[in-house]
Amino acid sequence: MDTFRIVELFQKKYGKQPRLFKAPGRVNLIGEHTDYNDGFVMPMAIDRWTIVAGTPREDSKVNVTSITLDKSVSFDLNKPGEPKRGEWYDYVEGVAQALLKSGATLRGADFIIDSNIPIGAGLSSSASIEVAIGFAFLVLSNLPIDRIKLALAGQNAEHNYVGMNCGIMDQFISTLGKKNHALLIDCRSLDYKTIKLELSDFLFVICDTRVKHKLSSSEYNIRRQECEKGVKILRKILPNIKALRDVTFSEFNCHANILPVNVQKRCKHVIQENLRTVQAAEAFSKGHLGMLKELMAASHRSLRDDYQVSCKELDVLVDLASFQNGVTGSRMTGGGFGGCTINLVNKSNVQEFKASICKEYFAQTQINPEIHVCEPSDGACEII
C-alpha cells in the first residue's frame, strides 16, 4: 500500500503529521472452528495489512475515515454508541470501549484507515482493523502494549459490538504473528508455540472464491451452539469435560450415539481437527509434505461433510487444486460459506497453478477468482 498517500490525505484532512500503525490479516493453515471449543489452531499472519494513520487529541472525540469504504464517522469515548448497529465502525468503537473497560485511559484521536485485505474473503480483515486501531489507541495514549490483552479486546469487540461470537485466533495471530513462522495456539490457556515453516521450495497461495453466502454469520453462531449442546450432553457421562477439547476420540466413539445427528457431526469434526492440527504442526516443522497433504485434505472433507461450512465454490477450488502440478495440500480456510482456500504450491509451479485455476474455476462458476501469493509475516507494529 501507498503509505505516502495515506500520510498526504491525513495531512490534508487534519493538518498534522500522523504516526502509522499496521496489523496483518491471517490465513489459518489448519484447525478450523476449534478455537471457540478451547482447541488448537495454527494460523500465520500474512503480508496483507490494515494501516492506521493517527494523531492524539486533547479531548475524548474520535474521528475516523476509511479510505477503502470512502466513509467517515465521529464518536465520543465517553458516550458509547449502541452496539451491533451493523456498521463498519462497530469494530473501531468496539475495540475502544473494550480497552476502556479493561482499565486503559484512552485519549481521543483522529484516524485514517486503509487496507489491502479483501473484505469478506475469510482473511480476517475485521480482526486486522481491530488490532491496528487498538494498537494505535494505546500508543497514542502513551500506554504499554500487552499483545494478549489487545487480542482479547478485539475479540470482545466482535462479541459485544459486532455480534459475532468468534474465538480468539484471528486477533491473536494479528497481534503476535512472526515472520516465517506459524503459531500453534492453545485457545484455552493462550499458550502458543512458534512453528518454523521449513518449506523453502513452496509458497502459500490463497485462492479467493469471491463469494460470501449470506448465511455465514448466522450459521457460524449456530455451529457454536451445536458444539455447546454436545458438551452439555456428553458431560452427563464425562462430568469433567469443559469443552470438546477435553473429549478424546475414543470417548467420542463410545458415546456418539447419545448425540443428535447434526451435533454428533459437529463434535466429530472438532475432536478430529484438534488432533490434525497438532500433527500438522510437527509435519510443518519437519517438512513432512506427504503428511501435510493428507491432513489438509482430511480437514477439508471434515469441514465439508461433518461441520458443513463449505460451499460449491470452495469445493471446486479444492478439487481443481488436487489435479495441479506441484500442489502439496489444499483446503478451505476461515469460517466457510465462501471465502478462500489455502494451497501449498511448489515455487516452480505457481504461475502454472494460477493460470489453470483461474481458467477452470471460471469455466465451472463464471466467477473470476482472486489469487494471492502470501508470506508469513510479523504481527502488529508501528511503521517507523
For residue 19, give Cα distances in angstroms to 6, 7, 111, 132.
11, 9, 10, 12
List, as one string, the DSSP characters of 121-166: SSS-HHHHHHHHHHHHHHHHTT----HHHHHHHHHHHIIIII----
Q: Is the dihedral of CA 245, 158, 342, 149 positive or negative?
A: negative
Residue 245 placed within a domain: no
Residue 276 placed within a domain: no
pLDDT at 215: 65
pLDDT at 45: 97
Residue 368 placed within a domain: no
Domain carrying residue 90: 3-197+378-383
Name the more confident of 200 and 132. Answer: 132
- CA 219 to chain CA centroid, Å, is 17
Residue 25 placed within a domain: yes
pLDDT at 13: 96
**Residue 266, SS3 per DSSP:** helix
Q: From the candidates 38, 90, 110, 170, which is the catalytic residue?
A: 170
Confidence of residue 221 (pLDDT cuts 50, 70, 90): confident
Name the more confident of 213 and 32. Answer: 32
Residue 27 placed within a domain: yes
Which contiguous run of DSSP H or E holds residue 357?
helix 350-365
Residue 324 placed within a domain: no
DSSP category for residue 317: H
Q: Residue 139 and residue 151: Cα distance in Å, rounded?
A: 15
**Closest by alpha carbon to 174, among 158, 160, 197?**
158
CATH number of the domain that 115 lies in? 3.30.230.10
Active site residue 170: yes
Phi, psi of 107 (to 5 degrees): -95, 155
DSSP category for residue 118: P
Residue 237 placed within a domain: no
Residue with cell 459437529: 266
**Is residue 311 over pLDDT 90?**
yes
For the record, the C-alpha cell of 341 comes out as: 482456500
- Mention every residue, 6+ apart, whose C-beta is less than 8 A from residue 111: 52, 53, 54, 62, 63, 64, 65, 92, 133, 136
What is the number of structural domains in the chain?
1
Residue 338, beta-bridge partner list? 212
Residue 287 placed within a domain: no
Please, what is the average pLDDT of the chain? 95
At 89-138, the pLDDT tens digits run: 999 999 999 999 999 999 999 999 999 998 877 788 999 999 999 999 99
Q: Are 188 and 37 in contact (CB under 8 A)?
A: no
Confidence of residue 216 (pLDDT cuts 50, 70, 90): low
Number of H helices, E strands in the chain: 11, 12
pLDDT at 119: 82
**Closest by alpha carbon to 62, among 22, 100, 115?**
100
